[in-house]
Amino acid sequence: MPASSEEPRARLVFLGGVGEVGRNMAALELDGRVLVIDAGLSFPEVEMPGIDLVLPDFQYLRDRRDRIEAVVLTHGHEDHMGSLPYLLREFSLRVYATPLTIGLLEGKLEEHRVRDRVEFHEVTPGEEVRAGPFTMRFHRVSHSIPDGCAVAIDLPWGVLLHSGDFKLDPTPIDGRATDLQGIAEESRRGVHVFLSDSTNAEDPGTTGSERLVGPVLFDIIRDAR
Ligand SMILES: [Zn+2]
């Protein structure tokens, strides 16, 4: 990215989740402050006997301990927020997330005895939020869990748009489809960097609506002996 002085004004580092499924976590540095985007974990492969779960590499954050502004969580899946309890063992953090994601975390954090180390900020898709040098806008995306969002963050050169996990499901179960208009608005502002979920992106074809799952489950349960 363009640098006005020797230190670049912004830096984007991936602490996990690239070229693998799980433990999604990125750190965006702007004007010396760090915004963490997602804090996921992954589950061990067969060649990792005795390992229960795999965490992202927190060393980058340890080295910038007093410069962490906040954490933003796109949705409530373990591979996007499951490492937060472990992160909170080392850091006290402000966390921006939607109500369901926060709700799913509450009990988990109690269990890990780190609930008092987090300050939750509930976000509503469609709204703009400021945290230090970061101006963020949240946009609803449909996914296999409700209350997911994409996040757009203003940079001096344009917008960094992080899609979160999404599926362009025209008939989501909760009736809340991806806010394509809000995302188009970001494109009008000028997207400088686009980070997109790509699980199964190399497989041809499309996946059916989540709505199709219910009747299938119903049949299986009805026919179960
Ligand atoms: Zn997900």
pLDDT tens readout for residues 128-137: 999 999 999 9
Contact 167, 145 (CB under 8 A): no
Average pLDDT, the chain: 93
Q: Which band of pLDDT confidence, cut at 50, 70 and 90, is reported for residue 3?
A: very low
pLDDT tens for residues 207-221? Answer: 888 889 899 999 999
CA nearest to 11, candidates 2, 20, 19: 2
Widest Cα–Cα separation across the chain: 71
Residue 7, pLDDT > 80, answer: no
Distance 169 CA to ligand 1 centre (A): 14
Domains located in the chain, CATH noted: 10-223 (3.60.15.10)
CA of 39 from ligand 1 middle (Å) equals 12
Contact by Cβ (8 Å): 36, 65: no
**Would you place residue 5 in the very low, low, confident or very high pLDDT band (cuts 50, 70, 90)?**
low
Q: How far is the CA of 64 from the centre of ligand 1 (A)?
A: 28
Distance 167 CA to ligand 1 centre (A): 10
DSSP class of 146: S
Cβ atoms of 198 and 17 within 8 Å: the answer is: no
3-state helix, strand, coil in the chain (%, to 5): 25, 30, 45
**How far away, in angstroms, is 142 Cα from ligand 1 center?**
10
Q: How far is the CA of 75 from the centre of ligand 1 (A)?
A: 7
Strand positions, DSSP E, the chain: 10-16, 25-30, 33-37, 68-72, 93-97, 118-122, 128-131, 134-141, 148-155, 158-162, 191-195
Residue 2 Cα, ligand 1 centroid: separation in angstroms? 32
**Judging by DSSP bridges, how do beta strands 93-97 and 68-72 pair with one another?**
parallel
Rounded Cα gap, residues 28 and 160, in angstroms: 10
Q: 39: closest CA among 62, 15, 63?
A: 15
**What residue has token string 């188009």?**
184
Q: C-alpha 195: how far from its chain's center?
A: 11
CA 163 / ligand 1 centre spacing (Å): 11
- pLDDT tens, residue by residue, 154-200: 999 999 999 999 988 888 988 999 999 999 999 999 999 999 988 88
Q: How far apart (Å, rounded) are the C-alpha atoms in residues 54 and 44?
A: 6
